[in-house]
Chains A and B, each alone.
Chain A
Amino acid sequence: MTPTLSLSQLKKSYGSQRVLDGVTFDVPPGSIVGLLGPNGAGKSTLIRSIMGIVEPDGGEVLLSGQPWSREGARGIGYLPEERGLYKDMRVGQQAVYFAQLKGMKKPEAVASLKTWFERLEVQGWWDKKVSDISKGMAQKIQFICTVVHQPKLLILDEPLSGFDPINARRIIEEVRSLAADGTSVLLSTHDMPSVERLCDQVVMLNQGRVVLSGSSSELRETGWDGSQEVLFKGNDMAFTNALGALANLDSIGPTSISGVRKARIRLRDGVEPTDVLRALTQTMEVMEFIKVRPTMETLFIDAVSKVESETTAES
Chain B
Amino acid sequence: MNYGLIQAVVSREWRTRVLKPSFLLATLLLPVVSIGFVVGAILLTESAEVNNTVLVEDAPGLISRLDRASGQYVPRCPGCFPERQNLNYHFTQEAPADSIWQAEGHTVLVEYDGSILQNQSGYLVYEKSPGASAKRNIERDLSRAMEHARVLESTELNWSAYQALKMNVNLVDRGIEKGQRVKGGGDEIRGGIGFMFSALLLLVLMIYGGVIMRSVVEEKANHVVEVLVAAVRPEELLLGKVVGLGAVAVTQLLAWTILSSLGFSVFQFLFDSGTIGQAATLGSGEVPADLLTLMAENDGLSHLLDIQWSVMIGGAIAFYIGGYLLYGSLFAAVGSSVQSEQEGQGMILPITAPLMFGYFAATMAVENPDLPILEWLGWFPLTSPVIMLVRIAGGVALWEVALSWALLMLTARLTLGLAGRLYRFGVLHDGSRSGWKLLVHWMQGHGK
- Mark A residues whose CB is within 8 Å of B: 14-15, 48, 51-53, 70, 73-74, 76, 78, 80, 82-89, 97-98, 100-103, 145
The answer to whether A14 and B222 touch (CB under 8 A), given A97-B12, A101-B232, is no
> Residue B230 contacts which of A52, A85, A89 (CB distance < 8 angstroms)?
A52
Beta-carbon contact of B8 and A73 below 8 Å: no
Beta-carbon contact of A101 and B222 below 8 Å: no
- The count of chain B contact residues (Cβ–Cβ below 8 Å) is 25
Beta-carbon contact of A78 and B16 below 8 Å: no
Query: Which of A76, A88, A101 has the most chain B CB atoms inside 10 A of its CB?
Result: A101
Beta-carbon contact of B222 and A87 below 8 Å: yes
B240–chain A nearest beta-carbon distance, Å: 10
Q: What B residues does A14 contact at CB under 8 A?
A: 446-448
Q: What B residues does A83 contact at CB under 8 A?
A: 223-224, 226-227
Number of A-B contacts (CB under 8 A): 58
Question: What's the Cα separation between A88 and B222 when bound, in Å?
Answer: 11
The answer to whether A84 and B446 touch (CB under 8 A), given A53-B229, A74-B231, is no
The answer to whether A80 and B226 touch (CB under 8 A), given A14-B448, A101-B5, is yes
Beta-carbon contact of B8 and A15 below 8 Å: no
> Residue A53 contacts which of B2, B223, B428, B446 (CB distance < 8 angstroms)?
B428
Beta-carbon contact of A84 and B222 below 8 Å: yes
| 8 Å CB interface, B281-318 against A | none
The answer to whether A15 and B226 touch (CB under 8 A), given A53-B428, A89-B16, A100-B8, is no
Beta-carbon contact of A84 and B224 below 8 Å: yes
Beta-carbon contact of B222 and A85 below 8 Å: yes
Given known contacts A85-B224, A102-B231, what 11 new A-B pairs fall within 8 Å (CB)? A14-B446, A15-B446, A53-B226, A82-B223, A83-B223, A88-B16, A97-B8, A101-B8, A101-B232, A103-B4, A145-B227
**Contact code string B79-108 (vs A, CB < 8 Å = 1, else 0):** 000000000000000000000000000000
Q: What A residues does B428 contact at CB under 8 A?
A: 48, 53
Q: What B residues does A101 contact at CB under 8 A?
A: 5, 8-9, 228, 231-232
Q: Which residue of B lies closest to A78 (CB)?
A: B230
3 smallest beta-carbon distances between A and B, as pairs: A84-B223, A84-B222, A101-B231
Q: What B residues does A98 contact at CB under 8 A?
A: 227, 231
Q: Which residue of B lies closest to A76 (CB)?
A: B230
Beta-carbon contact of B232 and A86 below 8 Å: no
Q: Which residue of B lies closest to A146 (CB)?
A: B227
B288–chain A nearest beta-carbon distance, Å: 54
